[in-house]
Amino acid sequence: MQSQLDLFGSAKADILEKQKKARAKVFKGNAAQKRNKLLQRLARNKVEYQYKTSIDVPIINDVLDSLEGNQEMKLISDKFDSPSIVFAIQKRYGVARADFSTWAITDRGIDACKMLGEQGAKVRVLMDQLHSQKWIFSSGAYEGLKNVSIAFANSHCKFFLIETNCGKKITVSGSMNMSNNPRFENIDIGQDEATYNFYLDFFNRFFD
């Protein structure tokens, strides 16, 4: 025969379980709403940012034109963002593979990764485990990254490595996340293979 204390404990356990299920249902509903909003925003931004990309790409092409051999260019600029660099390189050379290390990613960065994946590139993204991991899944951002390999680490590193269809190995590093923040950023961009491999060795630790 159960004591009153045992019965109270059982009742309390039932209540807690019902509350847990109710919270899970609300969270699931909120996550679904967020996913739908994100997918809608991606579709809207694809149109809205076409103009921005058309402005950014010629500027980035001028930078790429100025690179010779293993030369690296250092910039501080608010004229273009990191996704536009991706779009410019894809349009100019085609991309075989791309590795992105970013503390945060926005819908424009997701759109750039999604575009590369749809065009056959192998894409990997390393993000911060404290800031980005929860957001990626709760916001629905993961829906836009289904064809992308993702890893998380306690990392604030910001760089990306792009291997083009013609064999160029381009490294971009600096303060830029994979986002569309309209602010001054310090940017180093170059084609030195030793620099590319230096970053790649670190990046591969989280995927190999």
**How far apart are the C-alpha atoms of 183 and 80, rounded to whole Å?**
9
CA angle 38, 126, 150 (to 5 degrees): 60
**How far apart are the C-alpha atoms of 50 and 48, rounded to whole Å?**
6
pLDDT digits (tens, 9 = 90+) for 182-196: 788 899 999 999 999
Among residues 129, 111, 93, 120, the alpha carbon closest in space to that of 40 is found at 111
In the predicted model, is pLDDT for residue 125 greater than 60? Answer: yes
pLDDT at res. 145? 78
Residues 16-31, mean pLDDT to the nearest whole number? 53
Residues 133-139, mean pLDDT to the nearest whole number? 71
Say if CB 109 and CB 84 are below 8 A apart.
no
Residue 84 or residue 17, greater confidence = 84
pLDDT at res. 81? 82
In the predicted model, is pLDDT for residue 26 greater than 50? Answer: no
DSSP per-residue codes, 11-28: HHHHHHHHHHHHHHHHHH
Structure tokens that stand for 97 in this block:
């593979």
pLDDT at res. 4? 45
pLDDT at res. 133? 75
pLDDT at res. 21? 59
pTM of the shown model: 0.72
pLDDT digits (tens, 9 = 90+) for 98-107: 999 999 888 8
In the predicted model, is pLDDT for residue 164 greater than 70? Answer: yes
Least reliable range by pLDDT among 4-8, 48-52, 127-131: 4-8
Exposed, middle or buried by CB within 10 Å (0-12, 13-18, 19+), for 22? exposed
1: pLDDT confidence band, cut at 50, 70 and 90?
Answer: very low
Domains, in order of start, for the chain:
31-204 (3.30.870.10)
